[in-house]
Amino acid sequence: MFRPISLLLVVACAISAGCGPSPDTPAGRCAAVVKAHLDLQGGVALVGKAREEPDGSVAIEYEGTGPMNLPVRGSAVCSFAVSPQQGLELEGAIVDGVPLAEDEISAIRQKLPSGD
């Protein structure tokens, strides 16, 4: 059972843009890719556990708020290269079943925070 203060913290976290997976993990980085690609408002929450695929990519289920303030829910698969300078660098992504083109990948790389 939630205590009133616990419920307030959960609600505050859900509303705040800072709530969500850590950007230092592949799942968190993939959530940031989804946020940048779909121009989602606020944070992107993971639904369930992220799955590491045999090829080294990560698959996530996500939910967030779209530009029209409507709920958005879907899935994404992201692959990253590990770079000493950049941390996790996006190599490719499939968002809601649609592979992103190289120009989209390049644009998203510019929007992502540093992976340090």
pLDDT tens figures, 51-61 = 998 888 999 99
Query: What's the mean pLDDT when you consider all of the chain?
Result: 81
- Cα–Cα separations (whole angstroms), residue 90 to 45, 66, 68, 78, 111: 19, 22, 27, 7, 11
pLDDT at 27: 95
Please check the confidence at residue 68 and state whether its pLDDT lies above 50. Answer: yes
**Cβ contact 41:64 at 8 Å:** yes
Please check the confidence at residue 20 and state whether its pLDDT lies above 60. Answer: no
Q: Within 10 A of 115 (CB to CB), how many other CB atoms are there?
A: 17
Task: Look up residue 107 and give its two tokens.
Answer: 């644009």
70-96 confidence digits (pLDDT tens)? 999 999 999 999 877 767 889 999 999
Taking the model in full, what pTM does it have?
A: 0.77
Nearest to 50 by CA among 62, 39, 42, 41: 62
